[in-house]
Amino acid sequence: MITDSIDETEGAIVATAAGRVQGVRRAGVHVFRGVPYAAPPTGARRFRPPAAPAAWEGIRPASRWPRSCPQEQREDFAPLRWYRSTLPQSEDCLYLNVFTPAPDGAGRPVMVWFHGGAFCTGAATAPGFEGSALARSGDVVVVTVNHRLNVFGHFHPGPAAGEGFADSANAGLLDLVAALGWVRDNIAGFGGDPGCVTIFGESGGGGKVGRLMGMPQAQGLFHRAILQSSGLRSVTPAQGEAAAAHLLAQFDLTPDRAEALRDVPAADLLAARMRTVEAQGHDAFEPLPDGRALPEAPFETRAPALSAEIPMMIGTCENEALYRLVDLPGIHDITRAAAIARLCKGSGMDEELATRVYDLYAGKPANASPFDVYADILTDQRFRMNTLRAAALRAEAGQAPTYLYRFTWKSPVRDGQLGSIHTIEVPFVFGTMDRAEALLGTGPELETLRGIVMDAWVAFARTGDPNHTLLPRWDPFASATHDTMLLDLAPRCVSEPPGPELRALAGHRMPGGFRKEM
């Protein structure tokens, strides 16, 4: 939950298509919390596409944060608590928050944030996603969105379930389309330009951005795209149907009787989902290509043609995988043989490939121990490989530019043990470093890095080009040179064609679905 000691005063009143809302003013920014962009997806609306919100009379207060979609509680990794919301949960979760310097007619760039947490957890109301500093410093309008997750947003029982479930596999993505439709229709009243909308997200949020780039219903609703640390893997319809059948069987149901699930209490549905994930070893309650909302898996074989003319920025952090490894008991003492065995079990490699990949990564100067090697492989396999693939596919298409980055600044916390861990760039994008002290530490260099990172995101949102005065020249990605901006206190743009270790790793594609093993 976002809390701080900043005083709030009564804010401006803005008219939306459904009615007037009144926000609060804090630290020079107008904040509108919990604005409905769709009707509650409850009862008969469960599993269905979002419907328009009901209109209201009078003035609706927009001062309280909205509830999050029902979800399981992940393990509490202390350095990443700023990434988690502690607000109550409810299926009635289709609300967004707006942060604006002023609800006037200035026509500022709009930045719409989709939170991470894969497709199963997370919320727009995590402390690190408070958009006031970004709106104020960048003179932009920031929108953060709650939407349906896990089984509520991505349930695929297949054709036997009938028309009532035709869009249930991607209902959570259709929520995002509805939110972008709300932005198009209403954001001008909040000081934003509906013709200059950037969608951005990290981890699962980056995956949401990538999929929106291939959704016909999202076409024309955004004009720039930023994908941060996304694996960009998709489950298949067969995996989705298998997961749905397993869940239905827990209630003595079959796909042709899936309608009965609309009456199951949300807590029971969530618990059944967790049992399915545990039994199958991966999470198939994610978006999948259904031939309707999502015609194909974006960046699987080609860059989405629908978004070919939209500038894209994409990148990863240097040590992504540490977020799930650093506190794993015994992992720092892992041996070469144990690391190879883990690659076979958790990543689906055969022993010959796992051994070859391990030995190539062991030859990198920075990898002094088997733990270093293993963490480096997982970072590349689960995050960097598909990021590079997406950039290369965009370059092949030869239309709008793609800007590739890698965040390399390393946290001093825990004597440097966290490195450039997953999510570490997000507080610098939002200017919320004070909320992420357990990850970042303190010091004047944080503000320097904030200027470098936030200004790049804002410049890209404004023009489709991230270059600004604190950066050296950042050239668009080209397949021949692999131009990459290394984001650090002394940023530099380098040419990084894949080495032999990445080329070996490219021969194996991770299966879709979030896997527990690391």
Mark whether 320 is an active-site residue: yes
β-pairing, 224-228 with 282-283?
unpaired
Token pair, residue 485, equals 């901006």
The CA-based dihedral angle spanning residues 219, 223, 229, 231, taken in that order and rounded to the nearest 10 degrees? 20
Joined tokens for residue 507: 């021969």
Nearest-CA neighbor of 215 among 239, 180, 240, 243? Answer: 180
Q: CA-CA distance, 262 to 139, in Å (whole number)?
A: 44
Q: Which of 68, 203, 230, 234 is catalytic?
A: 203
Among 115, 147, 154, 422, the one annotated catalytic: 422
For residue 470 the two structure tokens come to 């604190």
Distance CA(476)–CA(458), nearest Å, equals 17
DSSP lists the bridge partners of residue 225 as: 199, 312
**Residues 186, 188, 190, 192, Cα dihedral to 10°:** 120
Concerning whether 203 is annotated as a catalytic residue, the answer is: yes
Q: Please provide residue 132's backbone torsions phi and psi, each rounded to the nearest 5 degrees.
A: -65, -45
Catalytic residue (choose from 130, 202, 286, 320):
320
- Active-site residue, 495 included: no
Helix axes 351-362, 336-347, angle to 10 degrees: 130
Structure token pair of residue 396: 């092949």
What count of other Cβ atoms lies within 10 Å of the Cβ of residue 401? 17
The per-residue b/e assignment along 427-449, b for 16 or more CB within 10 angstroms, e otherwise, is: bbbbbbbebbebbbeeeeebeeb
- Residues 55 and 35: their CA atoms lie apart, in Å, by 12
Concatenated DSSP letters of 211-270: HHTT-GGGTTS-SEEEEES-------HHHHHHHHHHHHHTTT--GGGGGGGGGS-HHHHH
Q: For residue 176, which of 152, 142, 153 has the smallest C-alpha distance?
A: 153
Encoded tokens for 297: 């898996």
What residues are annotated to the active site?
203, 320, 422
